[in-house]
Structure 1
């Protein structure tokens, strides 16, 4: 039987990255893992996850949640370091 940690590892995402997808998509952790797994393994998926995290940062900034902004920025940094294909300049325009 697979544990939730096994599923995260298969998706190649950290708990914080999964949490950011949950926050963005307003869904359960397991659904976020499934979506994250699909996106990580698709050509345009990593830039989409990066955009989700950026959106979460913008929302946290808008509500003045500085602590959450810092956490999300660290999550984004780690995600971009471990998934360099996430940085697609064309999608940020």
Structure 2
């Protein structure tokens, strides 16, 4: 049987990137893993993930959640580092 950690590892995304997708799309973590995996294997999907994280950052800032916005900024920086074509 696969665990959630196994599924995240197979998605080619980090847990934090999956969490950002789940937050943005209002999905349970396992569904965010599935969506993220599909997006992570397509050039347009990569751009969509970056856009999702940016929108999460904007939403956190607009709600005064500066710590969360900083955490998401670190996630975005790591994602962009892994996908320099963005």
- Which TM class, normalised by the smaller chain length? over 0.9
Output the TM-score relative to the length of structure 2. 0.95
Instruction: Tell me how far apart the structure 2 counterparts of residues 56 and 22 of structure 1 sit (CA, whole Å).
Output: 10
Report what 1:91 is aligned to: none
Q: How far apart are the structure 2 equivalents of 1:14 and 1:28?
A: 16
Partners in 2 of 1:57 and 1:79 — Cα distance? Answer: 14
Structure 1 gaps of 5+ residues are 88-93
Instruction: Name the SS for the 1:61 alignment partner.
Output: helix
Match in the other structure for 1:38 = 38
Aligned residues: 86
TM-score (norm 1): 0.88
- Structure 2's unaligned 5+ residue stretches are none
Aligned residue in 2 for 1:75: 75
Deviation digits for residues 41-90 of structure 1, max 9, x if unmatched? Answer: 123110000000000000001011010010000000111111224x1xxx
Q: What residue in structure 2 maps to residue 26 of structure 1?
A: 26
- Cα distance in 2 for partners of 1:40, 1:84 equals 14
Tell me how far apart the structure 1 counterparts of residues 61 and 41 of structure 2 sit (CA, whole Å). Answer: 30
Within 5 Å, give how 1:11-22 maps onto structure 2. Answer: 11-22=11-22
Residue 3 of structure 1: CA displacement? 1.3
Query: Which whole-Å CA distance do the structure 2 matches of 1:51 and 1:43 have between them?
Result: 13
